[in-house]
A and B are shown apart, each in its own frame.
Chain A
Amino acid sequence: MSVSSLALAQTLLNGALLGCLFGSIALGLSVKWGHLGVADFFHLSLTLLGAYLTYSLVTEQLWDPLLTLLVTVPVFFVVGVAVQWLFLVLRAEPFTTLLITFALFIVTESVASMVWSPDLLNLRPRLSDGFTTSLRFPEPLPQLAVQPVDLLALVCAVLMVGVSAWALRRTRAGRAVQAMRQDADIARTLGVRVVPITLAVSGLAASSAAVAGMVVSLRMPLSPTLPLQWIGIVVVATMLGGLGRPLGALVAAVVLMMIQNAWSLWFPPQWAPAVTFGVLFLFLAAQPVRRFVSEATASRRLA
């Protein structure tokens, strides 16, 4: 391989792996938005909280980052259930839930600033070399390198998104969730227990934020306003992938990040966001997505 094609392969690889992280964040958003009708901006805040909790447990209790999941995942499950329970009690409409999740988004940013200070916190220097030394690809591509943290992001994304996609399509509960999305009343008469399933889905989505948050804390320096940097890519990936389709969101995030990196390799990087989202427009205008989107709109029309 020539130097430039190697560089391209490397940057595409990095983009794809970072896309996996954004895809894992988009997972919870996509499921809640698509199946529960909640455009949950608080999900981004939960991811940030997960990252900060991981940071604290690692630096103060000296836990292994992976072990922190034993605490954060169940705690976040409860939080997710509680928030959804609030929506159920309020019989909240989409606009109302949007406002509440925005409000919680603001509250979380301030809480993070109060508890962990507005300054940058970086977990990386505290990690052992096993986390930070990049791994070389085996022959025949020894020039390509990958960071263990990015591999962890890949594993988490593939596991979480894979399990969700499989569960939604193949399991009884998953099909019940699909049915609820079509029509909650009919689902109920067919014996689907809507309330427990709704609460559980919200709890699981929040748990996924705990996992994504752990990866975030290993991957980048933390600050309370970090979620504002993700909103663009995460929300666009969620919608582009089709609401309620975690796999679509993951693929979209990966593709968007790969486009961004490929552009930045040869052209002025400051135009990368415009190009990435511009390509998005072209892509939307193209035919292949039509099926995706028309399916989505058709199913909503049926409601």
Chain B
Amino acid sequence: MLTTSLPRLRGLAATACAALVLSACGGVVDDEGDDNDAAADLPDAELVAPVAGMTCDEGATPTGEPIVVGGSLSLTGPLAPTATLHNAVAGLVTDWVNDCGGLDGRPLEWRVLDDQSTPGTVTSNYERLIGDGVDFVMGPYGGAATLAGAGPVSRAGYAYPTATNGAPDKLIGENHFPAWQIGGGVDDPARMFDAQADAVVAALESSGNPPSTAFFATAKFPTTLSYRGAVVEALEEAGTEITGDLEYDLGTTDFSSIALRIQTADPDLVYVGGLGADITNLYQAFDGIGYEPRSIYVALPAPPAVADLGDKAEGMMISSIYEHHEPLGGSPVAQYFAKSYSEVAEEEGVFPLVETQAAAGLAAWQILLTGILEAGADNAAVIEWLNANEVETVVGTLNFDGYNNYGADINRVAQVQDGTRVLVWPEDVSGAEIDYNP
């Protein structure tokens, strides 16, 4: 094959080189209006107390023994991009509380240990933090890490708030307070992902044009596989024909075969159970064969990966619990968070706009802070109070009544419309109607 097509390839190569050289001066688009500047449109925001029931005493210096919150985060290694974001949120919240005069007048302190993306180190990190006498802990990022930390944290009787724990069908205990309530409103422990699947199907049906065919491509990763299983069932029940369902290895870079299979099936809906940069690589493969999917749903894409797609991401649907707009984004807390997060994130070099991860990070802190404010700096009291009450957070009102402490169903669907991400389902939090007509 190589020998027969060599002359032709040589011709192509020559043209390509010529094209590249000709475009030498214009090879790069000076795109100043890129994602970095998206955050500049955010309005200035007033300093307000981060949680309900707390008064912000601006200018007052907190005094006395600090309340130390410890956590383990994967600041290096493969999980670092998202864990760095959660570390930025933790630092921001600490400064925020202290700018407001502290927690009951006491300063808040954040202590983080890097677990290098290794679950075994998560366990010893929490043992170390608890042994060093931190007052409270904050959960790590990632399902495996969360469960590795649950052992020591539960044994020591600490409250265990988590931001985006993706391994929900196993009980951590009454001390587990998840911000992203993946299993919210579901009674059967075996069907913890149904809430998420129902949100997807309801969102699609609200358009009036639900897909008649769907093609699934899912990364070999616990959370995405569990999602996929529930969504396949829910869509089939809703009358959608599944024309393809395949899995790919985590870390796949060449999606050309998968793109070709999708092109051959040409479904109404492409469901990508992908995370990180999968979507970037998949679209590169689509570009290569000149195919444009009729509609696409992505489970857990990295925010910069979606932003970098530009116009191609228009209409893309994404699993979400928060996008920054009314009504959720209208509160003074959300406004202040969005503004200060964009500044902190830029310093850390992570994506500057608040979406699911950053919002869940803040919500986890709001859960903990509310518990401390209401019940005092004592873990047992905080656990008892949180189990009996509701908490106002940036992602909505949360309670911890159900199995594994999942209470409210806050699974939502976002869509990229006119270049921005907006929630399109359910109606009480949506900022726009779904635009779906495959």
Contacts and interface: CB of A to CB of B under 8 A. Distances in A.
A265 B260 contact: yes
Given A113-B76, A151-B16, A221-B277, A7 B249 contact: no
Interface in B353-412: none
A120 B277 contact: yes
B292 to A, nearest CB: 13
Interface stretch (A77-85, A141-149, A161-169, A170-178): A141-149
B191 to A, nearest CB: 25
Interface in A20-78: 58-59, 62-67
Contact of A58 (B28, B77, B260): B28
B34 A117 contact: no
Contacts of A269: 246-249, 252, 257-258
A147 to B, nearest CB: 5
B305 interface: yes
A135 interface: yes
Interface stretch (A88-96, A199-207, A256-264): A256-264
A182 interface: no
A250 to B, nearest CB: 11
Contacts of B277: 120, 122, 220-221, 223
B19 A130 contact: yes
Interface stretch (B90-98, B331-339, B344-352): B344-352
B254 A15 contact: yes
- Most B Cβ at <10 Å: residue of A18, A66, A264: A264
Contacts of A288: none
A109 B305 contact: no
Interface string A94-120: 000000000000000110010011111
A260 B289 CA distance: 18
Contacts of A257: 254
A126 B304 CA distance: 13
Contacts of A138: 8, 11-12
Nearest to B35: A125
A270 B249 contact: yes
Contact of A126 (B11, B29, B256, B351): B29
A206 to B, nearest CB: 24
Contacts of B305: 120, 122, 221
A119 B349 contact: yes
A261 B289 CA distance: 14
B156 interface: no
Contact of B80 (A66, A121, A225): A225
Nearest to A232: B251
A12 B1 CA distance: 10
Contacts of A11: 256-257, 260
B60 interface: no
Contacts of A109: 76
Interface in B125-167: none
Contacts of A126: 28-29, 31, 34
B276 A125 contact: no
B9 interface: yes
Nearest to A114: B349
A86 to B, nearest CB: 25
Nearest to B253: A220
Interface string B298-309: 000010110011
B196 to A, nearest CB: 22
A121 B302 CA distance: 11
A224 B80 contact: yes
A187 interface: no
B251 A229 contact: yes
- Most A Cβ at <10 Å: residue of B12, B21, B290: B12
Interface string B106-131: 00000000000000000000000000
B422 interface: no
A261 B255 CA distance: 8
Interface stretch (B198-206, B230-238, B280-288): B280-288
- Most B Cβ at <10 Å: residue of A3, A64, A67: A64
Contacts of A150: 288
- Most B Cβ at <10 Å: residue of A18, A120, A122, A224: A120
A24 to B, nearest CB: 15
A9 B180 CA distance: 45
Contacts of A18: 253-254
Contact of A117 (B8, B13, B84, B252): B84
Given A148-B19, A272-B249, 19 more contacts: A10-B289, A18-B254, A59-B28, A116-B349, A118-B84, A119-B84, A119-B349, A120-B302, A122-B304, A124-B284, A125-B309, A128-B28, A130-B19, A130-B27, A224-B80, A225-B77, A257-B254, A260-B254, A268-B246
Interface of B: 1, 8-9, 11-13, 15-17, 19-31, 34, 75-78, 80-81, 84, 220, 246-249, 251-254, 256-258, 260-261, 264, 276-277, 280-281, 284-285, 287-290, 302, 304-305, 308-310, 348-351
Please give me the 9 A-B residue pairs with the lowest Cβ-Cβ distance, nearest first. A117-B349, A264-B257, A118-B80, A14-B256, A64-B27, A130-B23, A151-B16, A270-B247, A265-B257
24 contacts: A10-B289, A14-B256, A62-B30, A66-B20, A67-B24, A116-B349, A117-B350, A118-B76, A118-B350, A119-B81, A125-B34, A127-B28, A130-B20, A131-B23, A134-B289, A135-B16, A137-B8, A145-B289, A148-B20, A155-B17, A220-B253, A223-B277, A225-B77, A264-B257
